[in-house]
């Protein structure tokens, strides 16, 4: 009962007042800061080839130089320019994280919608698999899968997809359960809509907007997870300029702090910006719904 009540409220809110309240909530200082930083990094990712002072893969400099006028962020253990690599890193992490979240959302909400709408055995099967994924701490399962598949960025993304779809499935399922017996859906069924039309045309358009907003909040977490896998050597393969593996380089060359500090700051600022934005968005949507969805740890 309560589940249905809150989801109804959520759906109505996003349909009627969603836009108005969101735009108002996004005028907070935190949201503006977050938005600005996100835009900054998106621009960096797009214009990376023109922004980076040197070739991010070229190894023609003296190794382990401290930051200087020529190399603002210094050089790494094989003589590559750290600034150029941090800039190119934006092209690796951000698009991959966005892509991952989009796919996780599509797969998760589709499976969740099917589970919620058809119920019974389909529901049980899908949700028990989801439970199994939730039985592991996220990065542990992602690590295990990525290791079994072999280290590469593609496999890391596949591993992350496997661990991240169930969150969307759960949310969508509960929203669909709430909307399944709404009057407009029943009316549609009486007018002759089959199950797929009913689900696709009547239910999903009405429940998806909170799911989409929730997905945008997850981009930060996805970047954190992806860089974590790369740090473990299970993501980006050298010499790809990935922020996570650059921090790992820093662990090997401990006294040259600049190798790890700058890529780490890049991760921190991007993730923080997405989380600033997400926090405001979540407040705008419904302060009570936030923990139910976000209660998943990294």
Q: Cβ 173 to other proteins, closest distance in Å?
A: 18
| Residue-by-residue DSSP string for 197-225 | HIIIIIIHHHHHHHHHHHHHHHHHHHHHH
Interface positions, 143-162, toward other proteins (CB under 8 A) = 143-145, 147-151
Instruction: Choose which of 75, 91, 138, 164 interacts with other proteins (CB under 8 A).
Output: 138
Is 45 in contact with 57 (CB distance < 8 Å)? no
Count of residues that bind other proteins according to CB under 8 A: 55
Is 80 in contact with 60 (CB distance < 8 Å)? no
Is 83 in contact with 263 (CB distance < 8 Å)? no
Q: Cβ 201 to other proteins, closest distance in Å?
A: 35
| Rounded Cα distance, 243 and 249, in Å | 10
Angle at 163 between CA 157 and CA 156, to 5 degrees: 20
Tokens 């996100």 locate to: 38
Q: Does 227 bind other proteins (CB under 8 A)?
A: yes
Q: Does 298 bind other proteins (CB under 8 A)?
A: yes
Burial class (CB in 10 A: 0-12, 13-18, 19+), 266: buried
Q: Does 26 bind other proteins (CB under 8 A)?
A: no
Q: Does 234 bind other proteins (CB under 8 A)?
A: yes
- Which region, judged by CB under 8 A, interacts with other proteins, from 18-26, 54-62, 184-192, 249-257? 249-257
Residues in the site for other proteins, rule: CB under 8 A?
30, 128, 131-132, 135-141, 143-145, 147-151, 220, 224, 227-228, 231-234, 244, 247-248, 250-251, 254-255, 257, 260-261, 263-264, 267-268, 271-272, 275-276, 279, 287-288, 290-291, 294-298
């Amino acid at each position: 009962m309560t589940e249905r009540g809150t989801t109804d409220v959520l759906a109505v809110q996003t349909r009627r007042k969603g836009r108005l309240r969101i735009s108002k909530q996004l005028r907070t200082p935190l949201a503006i800061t977050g938005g600005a930083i996100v835009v900054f990094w998106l621009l960096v990712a797009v214009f990376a080839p023109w922004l980076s002072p040197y070739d991010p893969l070229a190894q023609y400099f003296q190794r382990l130089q401290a930051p200087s006028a020529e190399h603002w962020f210094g050089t790494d253990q094989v003589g590559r320019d750290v600034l150029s690599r941090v800039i190119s890193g934006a092209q690796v992490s951000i698009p991959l994280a966005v892509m991952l979240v989009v796919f996780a959302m599509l797969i998760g909400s589709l499976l969740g919608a099917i589970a919620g709408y058809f119920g019974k055995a389909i529901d049980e099967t899908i949700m028990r698999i989801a439970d199994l994924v939730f039985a592991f701490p996220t990065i542990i399962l992602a690590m295990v899968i990525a290791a079994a598949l072999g280290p590469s960025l593609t496999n890391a993304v596949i591993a992350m997809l496997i661990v991240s779809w169930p969150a969307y499935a759960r949310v969508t399922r509960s929203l669909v359960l709430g909307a399944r017996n709404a009057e407009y859906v029943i009316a549609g069924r009486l007018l002759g809509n089959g199950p797929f039309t009913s689900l696709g045309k009547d239910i999903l358009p009405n429940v998806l907007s909170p799911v989409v907003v929730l997905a945008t909040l997850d981009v930060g977490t996805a970047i954190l997870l992806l860089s974590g896998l790369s740090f473990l050597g299970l993501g980006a393969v050298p010499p790809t300029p990935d922020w996570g593996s650059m921090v790992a380089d820093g662990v090997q060359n401990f006294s040259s702090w600049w190798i790890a500090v700058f890529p780490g700051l890049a991760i921190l600022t991007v993730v923080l910006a997405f989380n600033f934005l997400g926090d405001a968005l979540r407040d705008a949507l419904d302060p009570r719904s936030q923990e139910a969805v976000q209660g998943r740890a990294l």
